Chains A and B, each alone.
Chain A
């Protein structure tokens, strides 16, 4: 059974760079109908899609992040990563990784998800 696990620093300073990693276990990343996604949920707010990347490295991002996010994947080592910079206190959130399963042009499903990692941006 595929499982995802996020890792990264819990506390980062404003204007610095956040780097998170999502490791996959129990399977491989190689199928072409998968993409690898990052989400976040600030305290008391809705879930927000950050972006994702296909196995070929082509990535899509939420325009609201204004080019601050970069997502990369290493299928040979079964992990993908998120870089976000520069950080502000508004980036404080629980960050989740997930696999996007592409069934067709209209059916894309996020499953499974990682447990999440809390990131606090504070000086």
Chain B
């Protein structure tokens, strides 16, 4: 089963660009979804199917997926972006999701 690896933490200054990676063997053949999880709030989809953005999600959020790494990019980071970010794919053989361990984004 695919294992997804995320850095435990990512720190950026306001206005800079944050890149949160999700590594997995040949993850490029999968559709990667990204969730934002703030304390005491429900997770929210910020990017799905590698690079699509749900309505209501700012254009500052974008995604890419190539080779063994998927990346969530947050441009012009704001204090309100501080959260845990999880990547997720679907294991179609075992019919269950696979999540990364989550990356905590800290806005300095």
State which of A47, A105, A107, A111 has its C-beta within 8 Å of the C-beta of B49.
A107
Asked if B12 is an interface residue, CB under 8 A from chain A, the answer is: no
CB distance from A94 to the nearest CB of B (A): 9
Cβ–Cβ < 8 Å partners of B42 in chain A: 96, 112-116
Size band of the A side of the interface? Answer: 20 to 34
Shortest beta-carbon distance from B106 to chain A in Å: 16
Residues of B within 8 A of A96 (CB): 42-43
Chain A nearest Cβ from B94, distance in angstroms: 8
CA A96 – CA B37 in complex, angstroms?
A: 12
B27 to chain A, nearest CB (A): 11
- Contact call A60/B95, Cβ cutoff below 8 A: yes
- A111 CB contacts on chain B under 8 angstroms: 45, 48, 54
Determine how close the nearest CB of chain A comes to the CB of B32; give it in whole angstroms. Answer: 10
Q: Does A49 contact B (CB under 8 A)?
A: yes
Q: Which range holds the interface residue count of chain B?
A: 20 to 34
Chain B residues with Cβ below 8 Å from A106 are: 30-31, 89-90, 92
**8 Å CB interface, A90-123 against B:** 96, 98, 103-116
Annotate B72-100 by CB proximity to A: 1 below 8 A, 0 otherwise. 00000000000000101110100111010
In the complex, A111→B30 CA distance in Å?
A: 18
Q: B8-42 toward A: CB 8 Å interface, digit per residue (1/0)?
A: 00000000000000000000001101010100111
Do A46 and B99 touch (CB < 8 A)?
A: yes
- The 8 Å CB contact of B45, one of A46, A104, A109, A115, is A109
Residue positions of B touching A, CB distance < 8 A: 30-31, 33, 35, 37, 40-45, 48-49, 54, 86, 88-90, 92, 95-97, 99, 101-102
Q: Provide 9 A-B residue pairs closer than 8 Å at the C-beta atoms, listed in order of the A residue.
A: A62-B96, A106-B30, A107-B48, A107-B49, A109-B49, A110-B88, A111-B45, A112-B42, A113-B43
